[in-house]
Structure 1
């Protein structure tokens, strides 16, 4: 089933749907989001609410959304974030004009990592598409790598084969469909970074995308210390420039004081350019596999209150 049809069905039935229950904050999240969809609010949620939603989504280790096998879990659970390099020369929501796609990482209780790509310290977070405010676009989600795929060097919008490395072509095309098969592939790749395959999770695969993503998450959890210290990678289709007001951006974030300054600048810039206030959320990444991520809204760290 195409995800657009799934979403239209969910929208039609939004008066009676229930968000997957994992914490006491679920009911608040569902009501707030449905209210945003019904009223056309562009951006929704207070800072404390957003921090609670992110915590809920992080702990929500479901296998599919709303019991639909054609709705992969990333549409309604986990935290999809993009680490960015702070600059006053461009808006954080605009893709690099020279890139073929846009890279994100995915945090969930069963998909942890201890650092951001390139050692960056701040970035932004997308709403899970099933809970985005009304009127926001949905950049296509293309492929997922249990560890960073060095996608800038790959064709097919970052999802294809790394130059000269046949074993890096998409997992399913190699008959790699399960976490166990991926781990065999993983253990046979001494370089790993850029040498591993990614799982195709495009909408057109329907239930196959759900199965692929679930197996990829299992594989990440079995990847040991390398997978924990090397962030995973989603690849999204590249969107046009200057779409800040219609992108499903939930928050900016920072992981330390260095990143806080960048997040504060981005928070002000986003409000100035779009008229939409989003919170700056502090993310504390785990330094051991037993620890969990923390999401905090700290009023004193906000550049603007609304």
Structure 2
């Protein structure tokens, strides 16, 4: 039964809250990431002194967040030894009128407001409030002097408003470790904690405040009132920690929490944002999209352009090494103006890639800051590495009158690696595919499509869909480790995420491209695997083959 309809919950809620709870119940259904960001921005911008029923402001406004460190041996909803000892965990309360501009961690989790938590049958108990971050112990981390029901420590000192708190703080030498905590049960005292934070002035205002929240049942993660994960866009590394936590939560509950971007300097209260590219589950959609293009064998696109503009998948195999960034063109490609790729499609008869890892491009028509440009194609390995022009080494098919399968077979059947190059037209691509369907497959059984060389060091501008790994490569190696290194290298250079997908060109279940969350590099670092081929042999291969 929906928690909103449980008699026990309705019975416990005071009448002034009943209407608001019923409204909240209509929002319990799953919402999208952009909708969550919008809801949080609305709460962040709302600045009432108190909420309906004379409840503290955090019941209906502001956002409760908790910083999360990476590298801990526990999952983010589980409690540290310190939290277990205290019986509570520390959060910060973000609101537009608080002036907070930084947090203590690169990212963290966002809790729903108590009204929403109640409507979902979840527990959320805010125990006390500090105007500044602190590490006080005592009763739930609220200090001494309070009661179990209301553990705030200020009341025992005769402090109940902002002026009193500021006076006490001055008397303690402005040491955050000696501040007292105000009640979160009494709306006026929680309001006093917010006013005291703002009236501190100076650099104090930009520092985070702190509220203590009672520990929840760590064995029931789906019942934790967590609404989203976030990372601070001004600090490096937060996205990876958020993705690690997103994976763990999904593995435990089957639910995906949205990852949000947080920028506390956001204009007009828009401090939370959502980007699909940040989400770990993006990989499922990318794999589906790649598969759809792979199995689409139309000769032309809907707009009449050659098929590679809308279907098939261009693959750029590469080594995984710290000697260079793998998305950069080699010096051979810079010299001759062409980057070698392989065109994958259900009718291309490509049984394996050359390298066990690399990149998968979006369709050529995909919008990008630096779009790909296809120069020409070869039905088999064109040995283009040392050609001054990789599309003219053995001539262009159109110039040589090679415009039929019969002509190509007569000229190149016995020397397939010396084929003329086909033009990037619908007719040229179709004839190339006919050659691959008909001719005897040589040992180097992949095709070669030449892209126009792009500038160095522009990974975020390239239309790349994913990193791939394959267990069936011509040069086998620890392909997953190689793909993780490429993903890690890209993340460290750009702060962005390319999903890793597995490529299986021999799949019998149509899962040519598949995504698994556990394949992703979610550790602090993913080193390159030992090289299966020495530097000298790799250099020789690139020089001869261009790929």
TM-score normalised by the chain length of structure 1: 0.72
Partner residue, 2:299: 63
1:159 CA drift (Å): 0.6
Q: Match for 1:237 among 433, 436, 452? A: 452
Partner residue, 2:359: 124
Between the two structures, name the one with larger relative contact order (CA 8 Å, sep ≥ 6).
1
Q: Conserved in 2, the CA contact under 8 Å of 1:109 and 1:292? A: no
Within 5 Å, which residues of 2 pair with 1:249-288? 249-256=464-471, 258-286=478-506
Q: Conserved in 1, the CA contact under 8 Å of 2:364 and 2:373? A: no
Q: Match for 1:107 among 315, 338, 344? A: 344
Q: Conserved in 1, the CA contact under 8 Å of 2:360 and 2:465? A: yes
Partner SS for 1:185: helix
Q: Partners in 2 of 1:129 and 1:84 — Cα distance?
A: 20
1:223 CA drift (Å): 2.1
1:116 CA drift (Å): 2.1
Within 5 Å, which residues of 2 pair with 1:89-104? 89-99=323-333, 100=336, 101-104=338-341
Q: Partners in 2 of 1:214 and 1:67 — Cα distance?
A: 17
Q: Conserved in 1, the CA contact under 8 Å of 2:466 and 2:501? A: yes
Q: Partners in 1 of 2:485 and 2:373 — Cα distance?
A: 28
Q: Conserved in 2, the CA contact under 8 Å of 1:42 and 1:135? A: no
1:284 CA drift (Å): 1.0
Shift in CA distance, 171/88, structure 1 to aligned 2, threshold 3 Å: same
Does the alignment pair 1:294 with 2:512? yes
Within 5 Å, which residues of 2 pair with 1:127-276? 127-130=362-365, 132=366, 134-156=367-389, 158-161=390-393, 168-187=394-413, 190-193=414-417, 195-201=418-424, 209-226=425-442, 230-256=445-471, 258-276=478-496
Q: Conserved in 2, the CA contact under 8 Å of 1:43 and 1:250? A: no
Larger Rg, first or second structure (1 or 2) = 2
Q: Partners in 2 of 1:129 and 1:42 — Cα distance?
A: 21
Q: Conserved in 2, the CA contact under 8 Å of 1:160 and 1:169? A: yes
Q: Match for 2:314 among 74, 80, 86? A: 80
Which structure 2 residue ranges, 5 or more long, are not aligned?
Answer: 1-274, 472-476, 524-547
1:191 CA drift (Å): 3.5
Q: Partners in 1 of 2:329 and 2:429 — Cα distance?
A: 24
1:199 CA drift (Å): 0.4
Partner SS for 1:216: helix
Q: Conserved in 2, the CA contact under 8 Å of 1:42 and 1:276? A: no
Partner residue, 2:144: none
Q: Partners in 2 of 1:149 and 1:43 — Cα distance?
A: 35
1:276 CA drift (Å): 2.0
Q: Conserved in 2, the CA contact under 8 Å of 1:271 and 1:277? A: yes
Deviating runs (4+, > 3 A) in structure 1?
Answer: 41-45, 290-293
Shift in CA distance, 172/291, structure 1 to aligned 2, threshold 3 Å: farther
Q: Partners in 2 of 1:76 and 1:213 — Cα distance?
A: 13
Partner SS for 1:61: coil
Partner SS for 2:484: helix
Q: Partners in 2 of 1:183 and 1:67 — Cα distance?
A: 32
Q: Partners in 2 of 1:47 and 1:178 — Cα distance?
A: 40
Q: Partners in 2 of 1:295 and 1:263 — Cα distance?
A: 14
Q: Partners in 2 of 1:56 and 1:73 — Cα distance?
A: 13
Within 5 Å, which residues of 2 pair with 1:9-28? none
1:291 CA drift (Å): 8.9
Partner SS for 1:94: coil
